[in-house]
A and B are shown apart, each in its own frame.
Chain A
Amino acid sequence: GAGVSQSPSNKVTEKGKDVELRCDPISGHTALYWYRQSLGQGLEFLIYFQGNSAPDKSGLPSDRFSAERTGGSVSTLTIQRTQQEDSAVYLCASSHGGGFSSYEQYFGPGTRLTVT
């Protein structure tokens, strides 16, 4: 079946502009995660959805970052007034369940964001 998909694959934007990143999880997966991977770094957790609600927003680095999930499926991560330090690869993952990491997380190919 189809895996996790993300769009766009690459995004170049000017500093100060807003961007939206999209994630389509595997059908039937109730949990959805956003991570950020900066150059040479591991993955940094941003936010987690269980269904449409986000019980854990603790990883969002600033109030310029927000995310939503509709219909228990597609999620969008929005970054307002982008800064150069926002440049990174944004990875989305989904899993059958959530709340405890016993379930395998399936990752998408990521969106590479470059802020000029």
Chain B
Amino acid sequence: AQTVTQSQPEMSVQEAETVTLSCTYDTSESDYYLFWYKQPPSRQMILVIRQEAYKQQNATENRFSVNFQKAAKSFSLKISDSQLGDAAMYFCAYGGSQGNLIFGKGTKLSVKP
């Protein structure tokens, strides 16, 4: 069975600085997708970024980028130029052949002004 592990329950970053959130996963599948979702206090889950496992190039969306290491089964999220609005829970998720997403337990990110 696939598993997703986020080892940092909480992280803090100064506004305008850079922070990296860690995620590791375990799977025997060769074809899959990885996601980072953001959940602010409103509870609304918002997709931040997506990575296809067959692509070697790391995905980038504006200030958000990932470091995807397939052999190490690692998928970290880097947030550059952190903003107050980035404060939220961040969930790493695995999507494979089953269709549903498998989520880590999340990292709570605080942004200090």
Q: Contact check: which of A89, A100, A112 meets B99 at CB < 8 Å?
A: A100
Q: Known: A89-B43, A91-B45, A109-B42. Is A48-B105 also a contact (CB below 8 A)? A: no
Residues of B in contact (CB 8 Å), total: 28
**CB-CB nearest in chain B for A108:** B44
- Asked if A41 and B47 make an inter-chain contact with CB atoms under 8 angstroms apart, the answer reads no
Cross-chain contact B100 with A41 (CB below 8 angstroms): no
Interface residue count on the A side (C-beta < 8 Å):
30
- CA A56 to CA B96, docked complex, whole Å: 14
Residue B101 is within 8 A (CB to CB) of chain A in the complex:
yes
- The answer on a CB contact under 8 Å between A101 and B106 is no
**B102 in the interface (beta carbon within 8 A):** yes
Tell me which of A40, A45, A89, A106 contacts B100 (CB under 8 A): A45
* Residues in B neighbouring A100, C-beta threshold 8 A: 95-97, 99
Q: Are B42 and A43 in contact (CB under 8 A)?
A: no
Counting CB contacts under 8 A, is A62 at the interface?
no
Residue contacts A-B, CB under 8 angstroms, 17 given: A35-B100, A43-B91, A48-B100, A56-B99, A89-B43, A91-B45, A93-B45, A101-B94, A101-B96, A101-B100, A101-B101, A102-B95, A107-B37, A107-B44, A107-B46, A108-B44, A109-B42
- A-B pairs under 8 A by CB, number: 72
Contact A109 B44 (CB under 8 A): yes
Contact A42 B50, CB 8 Å, known A100-B97, A110-B43? no
Cα of A102 to Cα of B32 in the assembled complex, Å? 8
B98: Cβ under 8 A from any A Cβ: yes
- Interface code A82-115, partner B: CB below 8 Å = 1, 0 otherwise? 0000000101010000111110111111101000
**Which of B91, B102, B105 sits near A45, CB closer than 8 Å?**
B102
Of chain A, the residue at the smallest CB distance from B6 is A42
Minimum distance in angstroms from A46 CB to a CB of chain B: 9
| Interface flags, B64-103, vs A, CB<8A=1, else 0 | 0000000000000000000000000001011111111111
